[in-house]
Amino acid sequence: MKNLLLSDFNTYLDTVPFSDIKPEHFKPAVEKYITRTQQEIDAIVQNPEVPDFQNTIEALEFSGMHLSRIQSILMNINSAETNDVWQQTTEEILPVLNDFYNNIRQNKALFDKVAYVQKHVNPDTLTTEQSMLLDKTYKSFVRNGANLSDQQQQKLREIDQQLTRLKLQFNKNVLHETNSFELLITDEKHLNGLPQSVIDAASDLAKQRQKTGWLFTLHAPSYIPFMKYQKNRDLRRQMVLAYGSRSFKNDAFDNQKIVLQIAGLRKQRANLLGYKTYADYVLEERMAETPQNVLDFLDSLHQAAYPKAKTELQKLEALARQDGIDKLEKWDVPYYMNILKKQELQLDEQKLKAYFPLNKVLQGVFEIAGRLYGLKFVKSDRIDTYHPDVQVFEVFDETGKFMAVFYADFFPRAGKRQGAWMTSYKDQWQRNGKDSRPHISIVTNFTKPTATEPALLSFNEVTTLFHEFGHALHGMLAQSHYPSLSGTNVYWDFVELPSQIMENWAYEKEALDLFARHYQTGEKLPEEDLKNIKKSLQFMEGYATNRQLSFGYLDMGWHYRFDPDNDTDVSQIEQKHMAKTQVLPYYEQNNMSVAFSHIFPGGYAAGYYSYKWAEVLDADAFAYFKEKGIFNPEVAQKFKALLQAGGSEHPMTLYKKFRGREPRVEALIKRAGLKV
């Protein structure tokens, strides 16, 4: 088969020809485009003209475009549709790419040219976006060792190679552990309490795996409803302990040593570059700026959330005592929380699902994006995908101009990692009159359709779809000139604003009326349910906030407080840093860190706080929409401008342009029903 990665794609809208791409195609393609990129770098270095923004910074920005795209395709497939061969291919290629990129970042002659431009360029001759690119380019060299000695640079390379290998192994281990656990129920009485749709899905899965009974797994669409509805406490306990012990069994798939090594290597890397800790290194390029600012921020929310979390758990304990349970455990919380929710809000989540068929919710977010930003989504059958489940849409603006390709991949499978995320297969940029439009993807693990029902979403899945779609809008609406400043290429503690603000529309009657319809009768969501969904914003919010803060503290424990010489027990480290948020007993056989994909292989190291940070931004920003109207065209246009700008300006500048002032934490405190 011809290797299509070796040339430009001759496809509709330059989309990826997934069906014709094989794992063995990547190595020769990477080798070819490394050579081409090196030629582009050599041309910049050997240019006899005086270094300036165009011949150095801009030329560097647009070098390696093919190589970058090949890498994004490989990494995305390895996350969404992997197997042993894809994993092996990724493991072989990533170190080669990292080594090559280190060669560029540690190229002294190239850095000298970049530094010359940084020092001598007249700022008045640059646009705001060009100034951002210059600053980002210069810092990327410094932060990746350009000022180090040859010996230090070699050490940095070794660290980066080790980190790449360890992060890939971490993901492989967690995926294996998630896929390998099965709870097979053969006695029908143990289905007591489970909704019929959950039972049907478990039956379908058992049949697929040639087993008799009902099969439950650690994948979210199976695990979450099981924990909410399963009356049998011992079975709930089995599931929780299985989930919490993934990669924590002292076997071939254990991540304890890997976690310690990653944290240690990150600290070494930071020290080598002149930073005290990895958190100091990371936060230099964040809105929060310093580790102490992050801890102060977490503490300010902790004071509001912790007392409420304790009060909320007392309500669950009272319910559990009615069932003869003296001590509330973590496998009891989702079950009794669901009961309490029904009592306090009269909100039956299972009945609620009937009003959220996936196809209607998807059309709903499309309609909302149309009303806010003038976008139109047209399903396409002309674009190839990597799996039959993936849907593809062409996106247009109000004038009919093509804006983006949008891939949507909703259902779990063995080759897909857990969670939900947005990514891209092609960057947006503008150059020489050409506007390269992005190819954006969202990937989730939603409940699949069964033989008797379409895919019906829990309300949590609805907000997840809105969340990831908010990220997608950030990419689709991008109007930057430079790929590294386009769309979601912003400060990490700003990147969640577009996603989290989008969730707010899922709670508003005016938006829900557009799509929340019973899948059988077509009736609108009842008014009472609408009110209760709104109330649910504050339901158990103290507990939920405290839980998020615990992850933020744990993240800072690993990346700010970590001492490689003395911190050698993963359980002890975890208990120490999560102690102030602990409201339930700790279980020695469970561990969060070893499966904490966000901060170890993922990009949230020293940045998990950004979810709550962005909640402050989104609550304050949505308060502006509420004040003027959730579809107010003037406010929507201002927010659209923020989305279009990507990383071309400092995020606080963009926010103040939108809001007219800096964000205020009071909006979040009010929305969550917390008190300081």
Same domain? For 376 and 515 the reply is yes
Judge contact between 354 and 459, C-beta under 8 A. Answer: no
Q: What angle do CA 279, 87, 62 make, to 5 degrees?
A: 60
CA distance 492 to 397: 27
Instruction: List C-alpha distances in Å: 316 to 333, 537, 540.
Output: 7, 18, 10
CA distance 148 to 233: 57
Instruction: List C-alpha distances in Å: 53 to 116, 125, 465.
Output: 10, 10, 40
* Per-residue model confidence (pLDDT) at position 676: 57
The total of structural domains in the chain comes to: 4
* Per-residue model confidence (pLDDT) at position 233: 97
Q: Of 494, 481, 365, whose CA–CA distance to 427 is shortest?
A: 481
CA diameter of the chain: 82
CA distance 377 to 397: 9
Residues with a known catalytic role: 468
* Per-residue model confidence (pLDDT) at position 179: 94
Residue range(s) defining the domain that contains residue 124 = 4-147
Same domain? For 211 and 321 the reply is no
Same domain? For 49 and 92 the reply is yes
Same domain? For 402 and 295 the reply is no
Low-confidence spans in the chain with pLDDT less than 50: none
157: in domain: no
The domain that holds 339 is classified in CATH as 1.10.1370.10
Find tokens 């891939």 and name the residue. 407
Same domain? For 471 and 561 the reply is no
Same domain? For 598 and 615 the reply is no
229: in domain: yes
The domain that holds 20 is classified in CATH as 1.20.1050.40
Q: Of 90, 69, 68, 70, whose CA–CA distance to 79 is shortest?
A: 90
Same domain? For 56 and 17 the reply is yes
153: in domain: no
Q: At what angle do helices 196-208 and 220-229 cross, to 10 degrees?
A: 140
Tell me, letter by letter, the H, E, C secondary structure of 156-188.
HHHHHHHHHHHHHHHHHHHHHHHHHCCEEECCH
CA distance 324 to 364: 44
CA distance 57 to 656: 28
26: in domain: yes
Judge contact between 320 and 328, C-beta under 8 A. Answer: yes
> In the numeric block, which tokens belong to residue 93?
């290629």
Report the 10 Å Cβ neighbour count for 324. 7
171: in domain: no
Same domain? For 240 and 379 the reply is no
* Per-residue model confidence (pLDDT) at position 326: 93
159: in domain: no
H helix count then E strand count, the chain: 26, 9
352: in domain: no
β-bridge partners, 215: 184
Same domain? For 235 and 262 the reply is no
Same domain? For 646 and 587 the reply is no
β-bridge partners, 124: none
Q: Which of 608, 623, 656 is the last residue of a domain?
A: 608
The domain that holds 638 is classified in CATH as 1.10.1370.40
Torsion of CA 382, 383, 386, 388, to 10 degrees: -40
Same domain? For 380 and 514 the reply is yes
Q: Which amino acid is at 259?
A: V
165: in domain: no
β-bridge partners, 545: none
CA distance 420 to 465: 9
Backbone angles phi, psi at 198, to 5 degrees: -70, -40
What confidence tens digit (pLDDT) does each residue in 614-627 have?
999 999 999 999 99
Q: Which of 608, 624, 642 is the last residue of a domain?
A: 608
Q: Which of 101, 125, 147 is the last residue of a domain?
A: 147
CA distance 60 to 54: 9
CA distance 138 to 146: 10
Same domain? For 495 and 568 the reply is no
